[in-house]
Amino acid sequence: MLEGSVRRSGQRLRITAQLVNATAGYQLWSERYDREMTDAFAVQDASASAIVTRPRGAMPARPE
């Protein structure tokens, strides 16, 4: 399960994302991203791209 939060301070955003094994209840991966709030869509795109590509090593192998 992916969970996260977004906090804003002035023109800065802190985005925190965690990948959690919901069955076993432990965290597989987490990351924090600090961004300038210059363009909300650019921040969203960059953060989403980083979140999708970064935790690949944390994902358990799929049974065949």
Mean residue pLDDT of the chain comes to 81
Q: Give the pLDDT confidence score for residue 12 in this predicted structure.
A: 92
CA distance 58 to 61: 9
Global pTM value: 0.67
Question: For residue 50, what is the DSSP state?
Answer: H
In the chain, the percentage of residues whose pLDDT exceeds 70 is 83
Q: Give the pLDDT confidence score for residue 10 in this predicted structure.
A: 93
The whole-number average pLDDT for the span 8-20 is 90
